[in-house]
Structure 1
Amino acid sequence: MSGQDSLNIFSFKGKMKTLHMSWIAFFITFAVWFNFAPLVSVIADSLGLTNAEIKTLMLLNVALTIPARVVIGMLTDKYGPRLTFAVLLAVCSIPCFMFAFATTFEQAALSRFLIGFIGAGFVIGIRMVSEWFPANELGTAEGIYGGWGNFGSAAAAMTLPTLALAFGGEDGWRYAVAFTGALSLIFSVIWYKNVTDTPKGSTYFKPKQTGAMEVTSTGDFFLLLIMKLPMYGALALLAWKLSPAGVSLLTAQSAIIAYLSLVVLFAIEVKQTIKVNGHLFSKPVEEIHRYKFRQVAVLNILYFATFGSELAVVSMLPLFFAETFELSMVYAAMLASTYAFMNLMSRPGGGWLSDKYGRKKTLLILTAGLAVGYFAMSEITGEWPLALAVVAAMACSFFVQAGEGAVFAAVPLIKRRLTGQIAGMTGAYGNVGAVVYLTVLTMVDYSTFFMVIAGTAVIGFTTLLFMEEPKGTITEVREDGTVELINVGH
């Protein structure tokens, strides 16, 4: 690899320009998606919200992201990242403005639910970056994309309260929220005018059919359907949390309708999967065109444990520090923000280690570290020195986020034309993890909560043993029928 070809983060040309544009777009989606938490107390006063209503809004915020990531993954593969991201940024500014001008809990709830769709933006950039970078730099590039973009949530937490104060008055928070929406709208145009789906002369490979993920063997067909179930399970869990059994936002009838719709949706999805993959039962796919779906399944489980735990821990850590060490909420929130800060370096670090030492070995080490890290956090009590507790949280967060980087260093190497869909499904599993962990948190104490995450990391470690290191080439067919071999190994 020659010097000028290497990753120079200060360059704004060619592939580096695409990388910078991608993480900025992702950064803005996260700033919009997480613009509620830092202003929550002001918004609650302004709209007269109860504690249960605040928790409901936080749940609604992540609900739609699970199906959205799958849908956006498909649209990205079909229409390309350039158009998909531009439309997502523009359209999602609407619920953001709706939220800024909401006057009742119901209006706030609807707009927060719809804003969840912007959380799918992540998937688009994964495919975009994979088109521009070779396999030996892909982990690092995806890690920079993920880590710096993810920082949008921390940036929102640090700047929005100040912004609300600067606008001042009772409506300060409304202007601060609307500001993120305006950013999203403006950047959708900048993005569209400045990027292309592939470098000049490269082919953008699209799936043969859309509507469901393609698999290449009958065993994989059933594994795909099994892996769909937890996604519906998480949505059912959300419906249950919103029903009279939980916070009573939905009536008992609406909850039943929600459950039934999920069953119908799953049936439709099974039908679509048969439509796209039914031919496997009569005619096997040539060896050269096959890929192993179990690779995707393993990455899904690992992302459930890594990103799922990150989303859950980020939302409970300030409270955990405040209660365990009897700190003020402001001080506790500052300490807890160290966890999100790690993203800037950890995620690119995980991707870089993957590029250098191989995908599987890196994931095994990071997942083991993850299990140990959460086990250590389950032992934290008020007797611990505060500094030690913060160091434990930061060390744990390194393994979590480097693990996320390593997962997405492997995702684009499985099947190029399905990269959006694979990233969509793996990304959705992160949200499934968050829903599951946050539901567990409502039922158990902090120590048990951390132990549960450590336990799922051990399960992730076990499934990892079944993963194969991506090597050799992926075969893709151009529209004119010629075959291109895309290098994925070292």
Structure 2
Amino acid sequence: MPDVVRDLGLTPDQKWNSIILAVSGTVFARLLIGKLCDKYGPRMCYTWLLMLGAIPVILLGLVQTPTQFLICRLFIGFIGASFVITQVHTSLMFAPNIVGTANATSAGWGNLGGGANRLGMPIIAATVVAFGVAEAEAWRYSMIIAGVICFLMGIVYFFFTQDTPQGNIKDLKASGDYVEAKKDQVKFATVLKDYRIWILFLIYAASFGIELTVYGTMDDYLQNTFQLQRVTAGNIVLSFALMNIFARTLGGFFGDKFGKLKGLRGRVLFLSFILTVQGIMLVTFSLATSIIVGFIFLILFSLSVQMAEGATFSVVPFINKKAIGSVSGIVGAGGNVGAFLAAMLLKSKSAVAEKAAIAANQGLGEDIISSAQAAASSAAVSQGYFIIGGIVIVTGVIALAIKFSTEDEKVADVELKQSLDTLIPIDVKS
């Protein structure tokens, strides 16, 4: 981003607007893509999303004005709908006894990609510079290369995946062999009326949404609060993003375990518990004045927030089996809405505090003003983290309102036993 700002001459407002536009694009795309998955299957949706999504990524490397940059950022945000397709696909492909673990693992690797990008994109830029490209233009080539990779992955997905273990939905519908072929006939309005979906929407806003915002602001917070060097702070934030390689999987794994012990209610109980823990960890971190104490609770927050995300999508596949895509889309969009609202809260508190600090220290020297600004930002963000942590705790309690009917519990229990029976060797005597 610093290279882009210099090259295109972006103002601070344009920079923030590009981030907001990207999040907004993701929200709308996630809401839409779920219904499309129910109708056309995840394979075709993923193929088209990656191939069409590659276009604005490539075009971003060719933009010449801030307006062109903002437009490309908006459409690049649509690629964030890939999360929903992944969750639909794993929900269709995996049995009830492990679907939570499968959903959490695939989603965790998606988040991991975001962390890997912090390393990968600069490496691509450095490689391009080594071949004689001007450093100021390297970011453009990095985007073009990333777009080409995105396009190629769309082709890979088309040829090397299928919608269900039995085959592609289109073929199964044509032959009449797909017993769930009428998924797309469930009205979207009917899905919207289910209160449980909106509680999960709120839960995902309080987990994934908060993770995005906290990590997006953590770099500066660690520098301002604990006087860490930029490189050190950046590496710490990166390490927490990389925790997704296992942490989110743990949430899905324990969701499945509680599901086996206590049925669908067990999945909800674990989700409520881990979300409450997440809120407590963030509140405690916000009060930390020691780097050691802060680091410990930041680790615990990172672990619990990613587990809460995994636990959320161990519940989602059981809300409405006839509209898994629509449910996944709505809940997934909640994450980006939460990120947007939390970012606006922190930005507003920090901006007001920093302006006040600058005004109060006007004429005292650049170093003094800079220190006062950093301290004001630290205090404001700390208060913001505290408020957000409290909201997460309340959300953890609200999660308990998710209920399943006795019939739903019976169906889930039968499916669970059937999936477990397939793992037991059968001695067939002739």
CA distance in 2, matches of 1:414, 1:153: 28
Match status 1:199 vs 2:165 = yes
Match of 1:248 in 2: none
Which has the higher mean CA deviation after the structures are superposed, 149-158 or 200-209? Answer: 200-209
Q: Secondary structure at the match of 2:246?
A: helix
Identity %: 30
Match of 1:180 in 2: 146
Match of 2:188 in 1: 212
| Contact 1:473/1:488, CA 8 A, preserved across alignment | no
Residue identity opposite 1:467 in structure 2: I
Residues 202 and 211 of structure 1, relative CA distance in 2, 3 Å threshold: closer
Q: Structure 1: state its 5+ residue gaps.
A: 1-39, 216-220, 225-292, 475-484
Deviation at residue 416 of structure 1 after TM alignment? 1.6
| Cα deviations by residue, 1:282-320 (Å, 9 ceiling, x for unpaired) | xxxxxxxxxxx2322221111110011011112111111
TM-score (norm 2): 0.80
| Contact 2:276/2:394, CA 8 A, preserved across alignment | no
Residue identity opposite 2:312 in structure 1: V
| Contact 1:413/1:488, CA 8 A, preserved across alignment | no
Alignment of 1:333-482 (within 5 A): 333-358=234-259, 359-381=267-289, 384=290, 386-444=291-349, 445-468=380-403, 471-473=409-411
Residue identity opposite 1:349 in structure 2: L
Alignment of 1:292-331 (within 5 A): 293-331=194-232
Match of 1:271 in 2: none
Select 1:72's aligned residue among 11, 14, 33.
Answer: 33
CA distance in 2, matches of 1:355, 1:202: 26
CA distance in 2, matches of 1:206, 1:175: 45
CA distance in 1, matches of 2:181, 2:386: 43
> Which has the larger helix fraction?
2
| Cα deviations by residue, 1:349-386 (Å, 9 ceiling, x for unpaired) | 000001112312211220121111111121023xx1x2
Deviation at residue 205 of structure 1 after TM alignment? 3.7
CA distance in 2, matches of 1:441, 1:312: 9
| Contact 1:74/1:210, CA 8 A, preserved across alignment | no
Structure 1 segments, 4+ long, off by >6 Å, are none
Residues 210 and 466 of structure 1, relative CA distance in 2, 3 Å threshold: closer
Residue identity opposite 1:449 in structure 2: G
Deviation at residue 330 of structure 1 after TM alignment? 2.1
CA distance in 1, matches of 2:302, 2:101: 18
Residue identity opposite 1:98 in structure 2: L
Q: Structure 2: state its 5+ residue gaps.
A: 167-176, 260-266, 350-379, 421-430
Q: Which has the larger radius of gyration?
A: 2
Match status 1:109 vs 2:70 = yes
CA distance in 2, matches of 1:159, 1:301: 32
Deviation at residue 488 of structure 1 after TM alignment? 9.2
Match status 1:62 vs 2:23 = yes
| Cα deviations by residue, 1:297-350 (Å, 9 ceiling, x for unpaired) | 221111110011011112111111111122332221111112212211111000
| Contact 2:207/2:308, CA 8 A, preserved across alignment | yes
Residue identity opposite 2:162 in structure 1: T
| Contact 1:213/1:421, CA 8 A, preserved across alignment | no
| Contact 1:86/1:192, CA 8 A, preserved across alignment | yes
Alignment of 1:76-225 (within 5 A): 76-168=37-129, 169=134, 170-200=136-166, 203-209=179-185, 212-215=188-191, 224=193
Residue identity opposite 2:234 in structure 1: A
Select 1:332's aligned residue among 233, 243, 266.
Answer: 233
CA distance in 2, matches of 1:209, 1:355: 29
| Contact 1:342/1:394, CA 8 A, preserved across alignment | no
| Cα deviations by residue, 1:45-79 (Å, 9 ceiling, x for unpaired) | 12122222212211111111111101000101110
CA distance in 1, matches of 2:19, 2:49: 21
CA distance in 2, matches of 1:391, 1:488: 40
Q: Secondary structure at the match of 2:409?
A: coil
Aligned CA RMSD, in angstroms, stands at 2.1
Residue identity opposite 1:424 in structure 2: G
Aligned residues: 364
Q: Secondary structure at the match of 2:329?
A: helix
Residues 172 and 397 of structure 1, relative CA distance in 2, 3 Å threshold: same
| Contact 1:338/1:394, CA 8 A, preserved across alignment | no
CA distance in 1, matches of 2:206, 2:86: 22
| Contact 1:322/1:328, CA 8 A, preserved across alignment | yes
Alignment of 1:249-260 (within 5 A): none
Deviation at residue 42 of structure 1 after TM alignment? 1.4
| Contact 1:374/1:450, CA 8 A, preserved across alignment | yes
| Contact 2:42/2:89, CA 8 A, preserved across alignment | yes
| Cα deviations by residue, 1:199-255 (Å, 9 ceiling, x for unpaired) | 12654544354772424xxxxx6xx3xxxxxxxxxxxxxxxxxxxxxxxxxxxxxxx
| Contact 2:39/2:184, CA 8 A, preserved across alignment | no
Deviation at residue 104 of structure 1 after TM alignment? 1.1
Residue identity opposite 1:126 in structure 2: Q
| Contact 1:74/1:211, CA 8 A, preserved across alignment | no
